[in-house]
Each structure stands twice: as structure tokens, then as C-alpha cells.
Amino acid sequence: MSLKLRKLIVPAAMALALASHAHAADDAVHMGAVLSLTGANATVGEDVRRAVALAVEKVNAQGGVMGKKFDVIVEDSGGNATTALNAARKLATVDKVPVVIGEYSSGITLPMAQYLVKEGVTHINIASTSVKVKDLGATSFNLIGLENLGNKFSAADAWALGYRNVALIAPNNAYGQGVAHGFREEFEKLGGKVATELLYTAGQSTYRRELQQASRSQPDAYIYTAYGQESAVLDREAFELGLRQKPWYAILLSMSLSDTPANIANGQLGMEVGSVNGANGKRYIDAFQAKYGQAPKTSYTGYAYDAVMLTAAAINKAKSTQPAAVQAALKDVGKNFDGVTGPIRFDADRQRIDPPYAKLKYDGKVVPR
């Protein structure tokens, strides 16, 4: 062998050996998550990321998945549909994960999940409430109550609180439009009236004009839903304009108040997808508090935790990371899974049966009422 050829072969062999060693060191089972770690929902996204990390820690403490270390590859959507889609594409084609959870906003989740379903990758919805989630396809699973159920619950709750003539404020996107239409329909069935319906444009530095417009109808309550940072602006300006003299009721209270200071948020009522339930839920809250020094800020952390635990259980049952095998196992595990958000059972369309809801108020923090 010539010296020149030897110089070419030896480094190549060393590189191959190093690559094989690196792959062996990374011999773990992965799933993916697309979360809003920056942008208007960053507070919620970080809260959910913590829950994901806690679930991974729990799975690995119990022996991992298929005898290997378990991990979740987390990608940031930035609160942007294109970024989320690119993140999902990377998870599906580069990382080749069998399951992806997320995102948060329905306008981001839907196109991202449609791509994953097209690729045959499992998608688990942990936060988006658009009824269109039901139509995503055969590899999409849903853990959370959708707008049709949420709107019925919030309308009945608002009516029971004595509200009859309300102003409705929501973002002008797939989620907000669904809430506005669905709440109005359910509230009017009960005999209520939506005097003003205001769909706001996201990302504005002020919403004073919109708030003043909503106040002209002299509602006896304001029903609203908004993403964390935008909600903080709405809440502050409503407070400054004196509109908080009337009741404010938030649909998805923890989301709407995640970035609002306590002195402004105090006294608000609202509803939420149920956060935790039973002894399993209490253990989760205790573990979260112990690890991070505070309780979860939003209700969505429990759904993310459950999604990770469900996925780990399904891969263990399937003894495979092949998407089709994991999907079949998810259906089986999902016949009766004891989640921190309560019992999880999927119907034939992979939708959660009897998803939980809660009546809440803000008293220094979000608490039951």
C-alpha cells in the first residue's frame, strides 16, 4: 500500500469509527415537540417545556423506553406557522421521530399537523381547541377539549353568573373566530345577547380603540380570550380605561392571564380545560413545584406531560419506534390511561372522551372557584 493511499484510508477509518461511537452514545429513543418558546406565547411554551422535561425525567427513572434512554427533541415555533412547519419537517425527516406533540395556537397546529399526518408521523394535540383538529386524519390524536365543548361550557358558566348582555373579544385567527362563533351560538340558545363582537389583530402595541368600541354597547360583562402577551396589553388598557368596573370573564383563563400582573388580573373569572385530576395530578403538581420552585402557570402543562407519558408507554408496548406500530399501541394504551389530567380514553376517531373543564378565578394566582 502506498504511503499516499494509507494517509487517505486511516483518517477515513478513524472518522467512521468516531461516527459509529457517537451514534452508539446517542442510542436513545426520541420523540418530538414543537412549542412556542419565543413570541406572544413564550410564557406558556416555557411552562409546557418544563412539563415535558419532567415527564422525560420520570420515564428514564422508570428504566427508559425499550431499555434505552428516552428523550424529547424540542423545537421552537416562535409562534409562527412557517417556523413550526419547518420544525416538524426536521423532526420527521432528519430526526425521524415517530411522534410529535404541539403546537399551541390552532392556526399553527393545523398546518403543522396536516404535514405530519401526510408523512405518516403521529401527532398528539395538547393545546389547540379548533374543531378542525378532529379532521386532521388517521395518525392524529387529541387529548384536549375542543371549541364545541368549550364554548358550550363557557356560555353556560357565563349565563349562570348572571351575564345577559356581553361584549365578546377574541383574536382574529382560526381559534378566535371559532370561539366567537361558537360562544355566540351557545349563549344565544340560553337567551343571552352578544352586543358587540370584536376580533382584534394580533401583535398591536395598543388596543384602546377596540376596547373603547366594545364599551359603547354598555355590556354587563366582557367575555374575552387572548394570548399571554397580547392579553397583558388588553388587560392593562381595560384597567386604565375603567372598564374593569364590569366583570371580565376569560375563556382559557390561565392562557389569557399568563403575562398579566396580579394587581390587574385579580378578580377576573373564567374557565379552562381541566388542569390536573386526582392523586396522580397531585403527585405531578408536587413534582413540578419541587423541581421548578413554583406551580405550573397554565393548564396545558398536564396535557404535555400526559402526551409524553402516553408516547413512552405506547413505544414500550409496541417494542418499536415504527410510526404505524406506535399508533396501534397508542390506541390500545388509550383505552384507559391514568393521566395527570384524569382518565384518558380515545374514541374511534382518536378524540379524548369526556375531556375535563374547570371554573376558575384569579386571586393572586389561578384557583378554582
pLDDT in tens, 95-131: 999 999 999 889 999 999 999 999 999 999 999 999 9
Q: Domain 148-273: give its CATH architecture.
A: 3-Layer(aba) Sandwich (3.40)
**What pLDDT sits at residue 254?**
87
What are the backbone dihedrals phi and psi of residue 25, each rounded to the nearest 5 degrees, phi first?
Answer: -65, -30
Q: Could you tell me the CATH superfamily of domain 30-145+277-355?
A: Response regulator (3.40.50.2300)
Distance CA 286, CA 277 (A): 13
Q: Is a pLDDT exceeding 50 seen at residue 17?
A: no
Q: pTM of whole model > 0.85? A: no
Q: Is a pLDDT exceeding 90 seen at residue 52?
A: yes
The residues that bridge with 342 in the sheet, in sequence order, are 339
Average pLDDT in the 283-303 region? 95
Q: Is a pLDDT exceeding 50 seen at residue 295?
A: yes
Instruction: Output the average pLDDT for the chain.
Output: 92
Q: Is a pLDDT exceeding 50 seen at residue 9?
A: no
**What pLDDT sits at residue 293?**
97
Average pLDDT in the 14-22 region? 40
Q: How confident is the model at residue 26 (pLDDT cuts 50, 70, 90)?
A: low
Span of 190-194, 255-259, 328-332, 345-349 with lowest mean pLDDT:
255-259
**What pLDDT sits at residue 299?**
86
Q: In which residue ranges of the chain is CATH 3.40.50.2300 found?
A: 30-145+277-355, 148-273
| pLDDT: which is higher, 263 or 275 | 263
| pLDDT: which is higher, 236 or 174 | 236
Distance CA 291, CA 36 (A): 21
Span of 39-43, 262-266, 360-364 with lowest mean pLDDT:
39-43
Q: Is a pLDDT exceeding 80 seen at residue 23?
A: no
**What pLDDT sits at residue 24?**
39
Distance CA 119, CA 106 (A): 20
> Of all residues in the chain, what percent carry a pLDDT higher than 90?
83
